[in-house]
Amino acid sequence: MYLKRLELQGFKSFAHKTVLDFDPGMTAVVGPNGSGKSNVADSLRWVMGEQSLKMLRGKKSEDVIFAGSDKKSKLSMAEVALTFDNKDRRIPLEYGEVVITRRLFRNGESEYLMNNQRVRLLDVVDALLRSGFGASNYAVIGQGTIDQMIMAGPAEVKNLVEEASGVKPYYLKREKTLRRLEQTEENLSKVSALLMEIEPRLKSLRRQAKRMEEREAIASELIGLQLQHFGQQFYVLETELGIVTDKFNQKIRVIKKLEIEISAFQTTLEKEEKQTERSDNFLDELEKKLKNLEDRKIALLEQLAEIKGKLKVESPVTKNFSEFQQSFEAILETLRADNIGEVKQKLRDLVLVFGESKNGELIKQQQELSVLIDQIVAETNEQKRVKIQLLLEEKQKKNFLTAEEKKFRVKNAELGQVKDELNSILVDKTRIDTRLEALNHEARQALGSKFDDLTPHKRADGSVDVNRISKLKHQLELAGGVDEATILEYKETEERFGYLSAQSQDLSQAVVDLRSVIEELDLIIKKQFDEAFNQISEKFVEYFRILFNGGQAKMSLLKADTESAEGMAELEDEAEKTDHIDGVKQKKAASQIVGIEIRATPPGKKLATIAALSGGERALTAIAMLCSMLACYPSPFVVLDEVDAALDEANSIRFAKILGTLAHQTQFITITHNRETMRQAHTLYGVTMGDDGISKILSLKLEKAEELVK
């Protein structure tokens, strides 16, 4: 990788587009004072991202834009493009050539481009840093600033050595890690504080939750036992109810049967009773008939008696009648079945004989009455027979009815008994129902939502331990109620505590890891720095002796006096002053080395501090330092702006030789008035400025350059 081309346009005195091509090795830029040579160096700094106005020798950003001259008006934009040969891919981009461009407009707008792609400043800085240089403190050494390399103090010297050794990226990494560590430690302490805050509450909540868990266990056992207990009781009662219901149904069936039977009896009896009623009426009529018959008989008998009386008083019929009677009876005596006709004739004759008598009329009446009476008697007898018959029948019927009634009563009694039994069964049933209802109520009260899990069952292993149930109930009462809010808070707090604990663990682990990363980085830094220091300090001594043609020099490490508070304060001051990323902590860590002290004693002198050196001696010492660094850790390119200005000819020659050697590894662009330096250069550019105030570049031969310098 090397610097291939520099293109300027509108940058400071380079108003026109100006191109400088470079080869590896050394390029010298020469020209009269004020021609714009240092502006070339400035343009290099600027395009590589330099932000310091002081370094750019300006007061405002826009000071880098061509400000105009008598002959040319000011420009609105400055642009510098730097082309690197990147065949070795030191810049980690897949391009054989990398062009970095920076533009600034007067309106303040600015932009960076890498191979014509707009990028951020950060990308430019990063790409250059990765390639092993960049805005390093010695990539562009400004005019009259070479001695600053050693005069800026031990910390700055140390910083330069670190930069050269390539240890800086590790410092950056360490710094980042350190920040992460600080952040992590801060987070850890916040998390720890939160954990400490939560822990007592969590403990209290845990105790409460434990009590609730125990309560839950008691409640669960109680519910289990109660489910068994009630299940068993329900089983017993429901079994009893089943039996009673069966009995009830059976009785109902019997009752129905009896009622049907009784109803049949009733129908029969009612029918019979209606018939009896009819018989009674008939008898009554019969009775009336008999009475009539009797009355008529009496009346007839009275008529008969009257007739008999008449016969007795007024006629001798009675005598004749006696004779007649005797004859009549004699005839009756002969009365036989076979001579009934004859008898009947005799009787008729007799009656005729009797009727022809004087009293015959009366007798006839008497006879007629007697016949009538006989008829009535016969009738009466007939009616009596009928009556008796009826009465007999009645009696028979009554007997039948009594038997049926008896049966009816028996059935009724039976029905009554069954109904009584049914009532008693109903009482039992009601009692069981009541008990079931009470049990249901009790179980609902006791089981709550678990009531639905209740199933009546028969326990094989005997009854439930009721004492245990009472004991558990008592324990539950003592345990108190369940506070859902507490449980919720416990869960949330527990979760939060768990989350924070895990976070705390992660953070603790991260702290350990980050510390170990820092330790590892410290080891690398220390190893690399020590190596760099040893090599550079050795080379420094060598170059010093070459440049001074003798004398003595020494680079030594300055360690922090961390034992005393003073030392610490010093260290902190130092860190503040240096304005570098390596703060106090880093200084402390990197073996407590706070700087590199340079002691230089030119030949034949007795000097201890560099402050006592002359300007040329300081420049030589600084050059020795720069060369030792470049020899050990070659930089891709270095711009030297009149670093040799203060050197006498002999020293200039020695310096030029050293540069010539180093130019094999490092590309030098050196702005110089020094002939020796020019002679070492492979390419020479002359910078001129006419009366238009615009710098121009000329490619020169050495002779021409020497002329230009004159």
The DSSP call for residue 596 is: E
Subset of residues 372 to 431 that bind ligand ATP, contact rule: CB under 6 A: none
Min dist CB 59 to ligand ATP, Å, is 11
Nearer CB in complex with ligand ATP: 48/191: 48
66 lines the binding site for ligand ATP (CB under 6 A): yes
Give residue for tokens 């490092």: 666
- The verdict on 116 binding ligand ATP (CB under 6 A) reads no
Q: Applying CB under 6 A, does 67 fall inside the site for ligand ATP?
A: yes
Binding mask 133-162 for ligand ATP (x = CB under 6 A): ----------x-------------------
Residue with tokens 């020494």: 554
Q: Is 690 in the site for ligand ATP (CB under 6 A)?
A: no
- In this complex, which beta carbon is closest to ligand ATP, that of residue 34 or of residue 309? 34
Choice between 30 and 596, CB closer to ligand ATP: 30
DSSP structural state of residue 633: S
Nearer to ligand ATP, 14 or 170 (CB): 14
- Yes or no: say if 671 and 173 are a contact pair by the CB < 8 Å rule: no
Output the smallest distance, CB 57 to ligand ATP, in A.
7
Q: Between 166 and 690, name the residue whose CB sits nearer to ligand ATP.
A: 690
Measured in degrees and rounded to the nearest 5, phi and psi for residue 133 equal: -155, -160
CB 639 within 8 A of CB 137: no
Q: How far is CA 393 from CA 109, 203, 242, 268, 387, in A?
A: 150, 109, 55, 18, 10
Shortest gap between Cβ of 584 and ligand ATP (angstroms)? 38
Q: How far apart are CA 38 and CA 56, in angstroms?
A: 10
Which one among 18, 39, 320, 359 touches ligand ATP, defined by CB under 6 A? Answer: 39
- Stretch touching ligand ATP by CB under 6 A, among 36-44, 277-285, 332-340, 446-454: 36-44
Give whichever of 21 and 63 is closer to ligand ATP, judged by the CB atom: 63
Judged by CB under 6 A, which of 17, 19, 34, 690 binds ligand ATP?
A: 34
Can residue 184 be called a binding residue for ligand ATP (CB under 6 A)? no
Q: Say which residues have a Cβ less than 8 Å from residue 296's Cβ, sequence separation at least 6.
A: 376
In angstroms, the CA 60 to CA 127 distance is: 26
Question: Is residue 434 within 8 Å of 250, Cβ to Cβ?
Answer: no
* Contacts with ligand ATP, 643-682, as mask; x by CB under 6 A: ----------------------------------------
Order of strands, edge to edge, in the sheet holding 110-114? Answer: 18-21, 2-9, 77-85, 97-105, 110-114, 117-119
Number of Cβ within 10 Å of residue 191's Cβ equals 20
Q: Which is nearer to ligand ATP, 30 or 48 (CB)?
A: 30
As measured in angstroms, the least distance from the Cβ of 689 to ligand ATP is 7
Contact 148, 503 (CB under 8 A): no
Q: Which is nearer to ligand ATP, 63 or 405 (CB)?
A: 63
Q: Which amino acid belongs to residue 635?
A: S
The yes or no reply on residue 33 touching ligand ATP (CB under 6 A) is yes
Nearer to ligand ATP, 563 or 691 (CB): 691
Q: How near is the Cβ of 587 to ligand ATP at its closest, in Å?
A: 37
Q: Give 132 or 693: the residue with its C-beta nearer to ligand ATP.
A: 693
Both tokens of 385, joined, read: 């027979």
Q: Please, which residue, 39 or 666, has the CB nearer to ligand ATP?
A: 39
- The nearer residue to ligand ATP, 33 or 107, going by C-beta atoms, is 33
Q: Collect all residues with Cβ–Cβ distance below 8 Å to 449 and sequence separation of at least 6.
A: none
Write down the least CB distance from residue 12 to ligand ATP, Å.
Answer: 4
**CB of residue 66 vs ligand ATP: minimum separation in angstroms?**
5
Rule CB under 6 A: say whether 38 interacts with ligand ATP.
Answer: yes
The answer to the question of residue 36 lying near ligand ATP (CB under 6 A) is yes
Is 37 one of the binding residues for ligand ATP (CB under 6 A)? yes
Six-digit token string for 630? 């470049």
Segment lying near ligand ATP (by CB under 6 A), choices 37-45, 160-168, 192-200, 224-232: 37-45
- Concatenated DSSP letters for 68-102? --SSSPPPSEEEEEEEEE-TT--SSSS-SEEEEEE
The SS3 of residue 601 is: strand
Q: How far apart are CA 584 and CA 568, in angstroms?
A: 9
User: Minimal distance in Å, beta carbon 5 to ligand ATP?
Assistant: 19
128 within 8 A of 135, measured Cβ to Cβ: yes
In sequence order, which residues have a C-beta less than 8 Å from that of residue 342 and are 6 or more positions away? none
Query: Which helix (H) or strand (E) is 208 found in, with range?
Result: helix 168-314
**Residues paired with 140 in a beta bridge:** 639
Query: CB of 222 within 8 A of CB of 472?
Result: yes
Amino acid at residue number 463 = S
Give yes or no for residue 60 binding ligand ATP (CB under 6 A).
Answer: no
Contact at 8 Å (CB) between 415 and 252? no
Q: Residue 33 or residue 449: which is nearer to ligand ATP going by CB?
A: 33
Out of 4, 6, 12, 621, name the contact with ligand ATP by CB under 6 A: 12
Q: How far is the CB of 13 from ligand ATP (least distance, A)?
A: 4
Does position 35 bind ligand ATP by CB under 6 A? yes
Q: Which two tokens stand for residue 503?
A: 């976070």
Residue numbers at the binding site for ligand ATP (CB under 6 A):
12-13, 31, 33-39, 63, 66-67, 143, 693
